Amino acid sequence: MKNEAQIVPTVEKAPAVAEVILLPPASPRPRRRRWPFNALLKRLIPLCCGLLLLLGVWQIAALNSSGFPTPLSTGQAALTLFAHPFYNGGPNDQGIGWNIIASLTRVAVGFGLAALAGIPAGFLIGRFRFLADMFNPLIALLRPVSPLAWLPIGLLLFQRAEPASSWTIFICSIWPMIINTAEGVQRIPQDYLNVARILKLSEWTIMRKILFPAVLPAVLTGVRLSIGIAWLVIVAAEMLTGGLGIGFWIWNEWNNLNVENILIAIFIIGVVGLLLEQGLMLLARRFSWEK
């Protein structure tokens, strides 16, 4: 009898499963807050180069012409001028501070009246086709007229120089506000107005709830353009009408042959105009939809 081989069953071992230990994600290293020195430097270098170029051209012009002041002499005159900006020596002898305040007051009156009249007029012109067809030719006709051409009309109407200056500012700064507001109203999507018709909203509610929020960025753009025009116009108007103001002060300094003070006044006009425009630009960005 043959010995049968004893069969022993073999058991396959299951492969070992490696244990995976999930570690918590490493916390990112706190970024160091970098001082914006590079960004500041990128802005200051072009600014300094521009100022140096201006001073260089100024110095060359002063050396090649008789009577034209140098930057150094103008700076010394500025120190003397701003030492007492609010002195009062009489009707035609007052400090530069009082003249700037007088000019800004006239600009505020004329510009404020232009805003009160121009912005509602722009809404109506943009909203109603009949009014647009009626007033657009008149605006196109009157808008290119020079500001100084309106001054004699103001003198004839008001018989005084003070209201005539504000009138000139009013008539010249009203057009950008009308045009920008009307274009903003016309660019509103028609779906908004269709929804308003379905809801049977009143015209006042449409103006207040739909048109004004949608047109506000365009209105502020027109206001920003108008303030620049108003500040330009007041200097020329005051030169002709006289009295207290930065324009008359420049003309008075020319009669006294104080060219340094004229250059200082030009710098002041530029700075004040820049501040007014930048302030309105910040306001426009605040209410703009583009973030």
Greater model confidence, 31 or 253: 253
Rounded CA-CA distance 179/221 in Å is 10
Cβ atoms < 10 Å from Cβ of 253 = 18
Rounded CA-CA distance 179/121 in Å is 9
Rounded CA-CA distance 137/140 in Å is 5
Give tens-digit pLDDT for 119-162: 999 988 988 889 999 999 999 999 888 888 888 888 888 888 78
Write down the pLDDT at residue 35: 55
Give tens-digit pLDDT for 201-253: 777 887 777 777 888 888 888 888 898 888 888 888 888 887 788 888 888 88
Average pLDDT over residues 52-80: 86
Confidence label for 41 from pLDDT (cuts 50, 70 and 90):
confident
Write down the pLDDT at residue 179: 92
Question: Does 49 reside within a domain?
Answer: no
Has residue 22 got a pLDDT over 60?
no
* Residue 218 belongs to domain with CATH number: 1.10.3720.10
Question: Does 104 reside within a domain?
Answer: yes
Write down the pLDDT at residue 1: 47
Write down the pLDDT at residue 291: 45
Question: Does 206 reside within a domain?
Answer: yes
Greater model confidence, 20 or 217: 217
Cα R_g (the chain), whole angstroms: 34
Question: Does 183 reside within a domain?
Answer: yes
Write down the pLDDT at residue 121: 92
Has residue 13 got a pLDDT over 90?
no
Number of domains in the chain: 1
* Helix ranges restricted to H, 16-146: 37-63, 71-83, 96-127, 129-142
Question: Does 37 reside within a domain?
Answer: no
Domain holding 235, by residue range, is 97-286
DSSP string, 35-63: -THHHHHHHHHHHHHHHHHHHHHHHHHHH
Question: Does 15 reside within a domain?
Answer: no
